[in-house]
């Protein structure tokens, strides 16, 4: 019998076993199963063909869209999606002794519609799991955040190792989770390890696992590499690893395999590695504190997370986001002066510090709105001492201008020429402001803020000023 004469008779009713397998996956109580994988394997078994693949094609690859086709040994069909920017396809390939006939095409056409539901179910389950884990999205509309999101989306669809650099509290783990969520491994586990918190003597067992009965009373268990199989392993603060630990990590990455402590053989793993550090690894390599070969293995695809002070325009959106997360506890708003003080603060603790400050405000604020006085003194800072005082006292524009001129004058070491240049006013105007400030400032208002005093401890000899 010729190859072209080998046909199989199928009907859409043959998808009963496929639907049953998907239902079993939905009711599973363990970690979210790979519904797309279940669908592919069961459809492949039902049709007795070589392979079935259900996949989405991101919008950035629009030039590479797959056109539905049908040949003797392959069928490619479009799959409906909820997002019009994304194309999904169902691809089926037969073996050398199998020809895909009309009956196969009819079954696959129905399966393609079912595939759209499978993709949507996978997306919904994954979003629900991410919400349960407390993972927050990358908030912000600044240019820096737009570039960060674009870079994350581009890198996510690759399987490359990624190095994330940024200050503490900027959200490096959120970026790692986004890389995992947008990747083909989204249905697999996301395993995070804080390298700085692992005792060096236990690091090998923690990452690579330990064999049963390696020592008296020791039970065998999987390491983080094996736990992240078919998923993503996130190594936070990798710069804190000792040189010996770095050597062990390098070997595991190079061989894509791990050897448990006390074991004799290696175990292959399918794990994507994402590492993060709050210190530039290139500088540590120069100082001899980080292995150059490991750096070159981890580097290449790098993502820098900007500190909050470099994207101040995102602070109002972040503050509102954190307030909304606690709306079930208290429905608070934030006043304009308090919001401006948040924008003026430098945030050494970055987004993490802002989140904790909002939590403190939710717990301690007495009114229904967070006011300037509700913020800690370190956050009010210069804003509270300068603008905040005038706003609370209801100063007129002239009074505020005079007070500001006096503060700049003191900040310049009482050098009138320098103050005039900074304020962009004439000498006579500055004199008028200073006379008005002296006449209207009484009591505690005469006490200069600490930051002004520190700048004027060493007065600069006044330069000649043209009258």
Q: How do residues 309-329 score in pLDDT, each as one tens digit?
A: 999 999 999 999 999 888 888
Distant-in-sequence, close-in-space partners of 431: CB < 8 Å, separation ≥ 6? none
pLDDT tens digits, one per residue of 373-383: 889 988 887 66
In the chain, what are the domain boundaries? 3-130, 143-304, 312-455
CATH topology of domain 312-455: Helicase, Ruva Protein; domain 3 (1.10.8)
| Token pair for 202 | 């236990």
Q: What is the mean pLDDT of residues 248-266?
A: 79
Residue 1: the pLDDT is: 37
What is the pLDDT, as a whole number, of residue 261? 75
What is the band of 133 on the pLDDT scale with cuts at 50, 70, 90?
very low
Give the long-range contacts of residues 347-350, CB within 8 A, separation 24 or more.
Answer: 347/307, 347/308, 347/309, 349/168, 349/169, 350/167, 350/168, 350/169, 350/170, 350/171, 350/307, 350/308
Whether the model clears a pTM of 0.75, i.e. scores above it, the answer is no
CATH 3.40.50.300 at 143-304, yes or no: yes
Nearest residue to 341 via CA among 379, 376, 309, 389: 379
pLDDT at position 130:
47
Q: How far apart are CA 102 and CA 3, in angstroms?
A: 16
Average pLDDT over residues 56-62: 56
Residue 33 has a CB neighbour count (10 Å cut-off) of 17
Residues contacting residue 435 through CB under 8 Å, at least 6 positions apart: none
The answer to whether the CB of 290 falls within 8 A of the CB of 246 is yes
49 and 92 Cβ atoms separated by less than 8 Å: yes
Average the pLDDT over 43-57 and give the result. 85
333 pLDDT tier (thresholds 50, 70, 90): very high
Q: Does 96 or 46 have the greater pLDDT score?
A: 46
Least confident of 278-287, 302-311, 381-390, 418-427: 381-390
**Does the pLDDT value for residue 448 go beyond 80?**
no
- Give strand pairing partners of 466: none
C-alpha 409/C-alpha 205 separation (Å) is: 63
CA-wise closest residue to 409 among 423, 398, 396, 426: 423
**What pLDDT does residue 440 have?**
67
Task: Identify which has the larger pLDDT, 167 or 135.
Answer: 167
Cβ atoms of residues 39 and 22 within 8 Å: yes
Res 458 pLDDT > 50: no
């Amino acid at each position: 019998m010729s190859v072209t004469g080998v046909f199989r008779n199928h009907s859409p009713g043959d998808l009963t076993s496929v639907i049953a397998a998907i239902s079993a996956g939905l009711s599973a109580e363990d970690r979210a199963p790979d519904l797309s994988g279940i669908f592919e394997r069961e459809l492949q078994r039902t049709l007795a063909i070589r392979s079935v693949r259900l996949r989405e094609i991101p919008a950035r690859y629009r030039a590479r869209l797959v056109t539905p086709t049908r040949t003797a040994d392959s069928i490619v069909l479009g799959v409906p999606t909820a997002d019009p920017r994304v194309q999904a396809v169902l691809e089926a390939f037969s073996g050398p002794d199998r020809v895909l006939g009309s009956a196969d095409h009819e079954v696959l056409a129905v399966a393609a519609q079912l595939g759209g539901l499978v993709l949507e179910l996978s997306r919904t389950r994954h979003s629900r799991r991410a919400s349960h884990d407390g993972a927050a999205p990358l908030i912000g509309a600044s240019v820096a955040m737009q570039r960060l999101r674009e870079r994350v989306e581009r890198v996510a669809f690759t399987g490359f190792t990624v190095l994330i650099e940024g200050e503490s509290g900027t959200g490096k783990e959120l970026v790692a989770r986004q890389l995992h969520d947008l990747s083909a491994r989204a249905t697999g586990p996301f395993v995070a390890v804080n390298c700085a918190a692992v005792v060096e003597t236990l690091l090998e067992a923690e990452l690579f696992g330990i064999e049963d009965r390696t020592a008296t009373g020791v039970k065998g268990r999987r390491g983080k590499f094996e736990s992240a199989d078919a998923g993503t392993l996130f190594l936070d603060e990798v710069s804190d690893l000792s040189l010996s630990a770095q050597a062990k990590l390098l070997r595991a990455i190079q061989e894509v395999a791990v050897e448990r402590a006390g074991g004799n053989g290696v175990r292959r793993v399918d794990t994507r590695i994402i590492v993060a550090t709050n210190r530039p690894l290139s500088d540590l390599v120069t100082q001899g504190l980080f292995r150059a070969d490991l750096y070159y293995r981890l580097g290449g695809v790098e993502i820098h997370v900007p500190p909050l002070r470099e994207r101040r325009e995102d602070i109002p959106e972040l503050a509102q986001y954190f307030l909304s997360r606690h709306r079930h506890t208290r429905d608070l708003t934030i006043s304009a002066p308090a919001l401006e003080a948040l924008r003026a603060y430098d945030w050494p603790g970055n987004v993490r510090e802002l989140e904790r400050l909002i939590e403190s405000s939710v717990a301690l604020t007495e009114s229904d709105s967070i006011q300037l006085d509700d913020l800690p003194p370190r956050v009010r800072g210069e804003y509270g001492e300068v603008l905040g005082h005038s706003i609370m006292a209801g100063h007129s524009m002239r009074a505020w201008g005079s007070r500001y001129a006096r503060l700049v004058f003191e900040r310049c070491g009482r050098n009138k020429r320098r103050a005039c240049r900074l304020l962009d006013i004439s000498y006579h105007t500055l004199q008028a402001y200073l006379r008005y400030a002296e006449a209207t400032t009484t009591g505690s208002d005469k006490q200069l803020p600490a930051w002004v005093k520190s700048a004027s401890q060493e007065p600069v000899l006044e330069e000649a000023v043209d009258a």
